[in-house]
Chains A and B, each alone.
Chain A
């Protein structure tokens, strides 16, 4: 496929899907987001995230080490906001506590690991997942594997520059944006 035609969509995409960045997908600038490889205004992406989570059969949040431990000021508050967002959307939470490969010792009902994320997705029949608080490298490693082997729709709420390998990504997703997303989810639920 031509790099210019590449779209980041739910899989299973195949044996070894490419990194979206190598197919010409570029990360969003401030105030922008990515939806399936296209740059869109952040507000549009937030609406889309809320729609996807609310329409899912089994949406699950995957919080990573960056919000599982209160390692710096503000993290506990953000973690609480993420929990509120998940609860408000009716989503479950399965943590990604660390990154060391654990296969075959992992309990897929209880945790997810970036090196073999599909075990958790298949086991729990997850159709939409939300990465949050995962170090960028490990998130991208996992997002590509998920796209390759599952039909799970991936969303990444990134505190840094975002993730081309997720189907939807927000960048600079701090406390304010998480709360804003919760508000959008609540409004959408109320209106449904």
Chain B
């Protein structure tokens, strides 16, 4: 193993002197994992994720990780990752698009088993019909799996969110998986300036003995640990236990809010939040919206931006407060489902002012002019 100094997360995240690099999103994943004190990473290729786990393999060869291998498919990888986490090690993997869907059953299994796994999701279209191009539709499917969902706008976000996700996921009162989602290609395959901490420091190791469930360590109690499902019993007591268990998984995500505030500065970021017209979005759609809003303000239109960083837990109270005075809410999205618009309509007090779109998908880009024309329409 390569020699790195263990430092407090707060030092690594904030005061540590940072070096500016010009790197791709995939390389930002590598830089985050290099400093995350990860025990094990398991990979399986799928575009546009393949490069990130390939680069994690490279740093394994350099001695930054204890173990790394390729599984036989995404379902196998996510299952193996679950086993590693149950065994008490810090583990990382990544996938995207059809890979996410192929492994789908295991994400709720991770959450149900209270496993603090961190997984990168480099989103792309699914087979509807087949495409490898950018699209965030898989996030619609992931909303109710029980995992925490962070959405990165750019490579800097991706670096920060992956590194901080380990610390958030491993808090005893949270201890559920964190998915860090990023728009494939737009971020993974483009270069950006990213500020990173020195490579000779890393996070403290994961302490599985503070977990809210027993680590599968046969040397420690209770050896007869069970995270059994209750399917073998058909009675009210078993149903009630299962229900309470599920509630506890959701409660864990609620408890993550304060840590998302502490480490990521909040669940949302707002610019010109008092504006009449608010554009609320996440991921790279936030970058396009920022440009559209700059153009709108130059044209004398009063528009603001709310970037949502945490999809689960969802910033319901923040959104309710931010949208109270707005006359219109525009929701640009890179998918056909409009999942973010649905989420917003569920929490904005007068949801008739929430306008779904513009939406692009199947690999289409979203020109800022598309958002600007919505702003103009709302301003009339």
Contacts and interface: CB of A to CB of B under 8 A. Distances in A.
A145 B244 contact: yes
A97 B172 contact: no
B221 A144 contact: no
A141 B241 contact: yes
B237 A22 contact: no
Interface string B219-260: 111101110101001010110110111011011101100100
A79 B83 CA distance: 31
B214 A135 contact: yes
B173 interface: yes
Contact of B225 (A22, A26, A99, A148): A99
Interface in B161-175: 171-173, 175
B345 to A, nearest CB: 20
A111 B179 CA distance: 39
Given A22-B251, A69-B221, A115-B241, A101 B173 contact: no
A15 to B, nearest CB: 9
Contacts, number: 104
A136 B172 contact: yes
A68 B221 CA distance: 9
Contact of A103 (B114, B233, B255): B233
A22 B244 CA distance: 12
Contacts of A42: none
Given A116-B241, A145-B241, A71 B220 contact: yes
Contact of B213 (A26, A69, A101, A137): A137
Q: By CB atoms of chain A within 10 A, which of B225, B230, B251 has the most?
A: B251
A31 to B, nearest CB: 16
A101 B233 CA distance: 9
Interface residues of B, number: 37
Interface string A83-114: 00000000000000111110100000000001
Given A144-B244, A160-B173, A19 B228 contact: no
Contacts of A21: 251-252, 254-255
A134 to B, nearest CB: 10
Given A27-B255, A160-B172, A98 B224 contact: yes
A135 B226 contact: no
A4 to B, nearest CB: 10
B150 to A, nearest CB: 19
A18 B243 CA distance: 10
Contacts of B228: 100-101
B211 A22 contact: no
Interface in A131-170: 135-138, 140-142, 144-145, 148-149, 160-162, 164
Contact of B226 (A100, A119, A160, A162): A100
B234 to A, nearest CB: 11
B212 interface: yes
B250 A161 contact: no
Contacts of B131: none
Contacts of B172: 136, 160-161
B212 to A, nearest CB: 4
Contacts of B175: 137
Nearest to B245: A141
A66 interface: yes
8 contacts: A22-B254, A98-B224, A101-B230, A101-B241, A116-B241, A137-B213, A141-B244, A145-B241
Given A65-B222, A101-B233, 18 more contacts: A16-B240, A19-B247, A19-B251, A21-B251, A71-B220, A71-B221, A98-B222, A98-B226, A99-B225, A101-B228, A116-B241, A135-B212, A137-B213, A140-B244, A140-B251, A160-B210, A161-B172, A164-B251
Interface of A: 16, 18-22, 26-27, 65-66, 68-69, 71-72, 97-101, 103, 114-116, 119, 135-138, 140-142, 144-145, 148-149, 160-162, 164
* 10 pairs of A and B residues whose beta carbons are closest in the complex: A100-B226, A136-B212, A21-B251, A19-B251, A137-B212, A115-B241, A65-B222, A69-B221, A161-B173, A98-B222
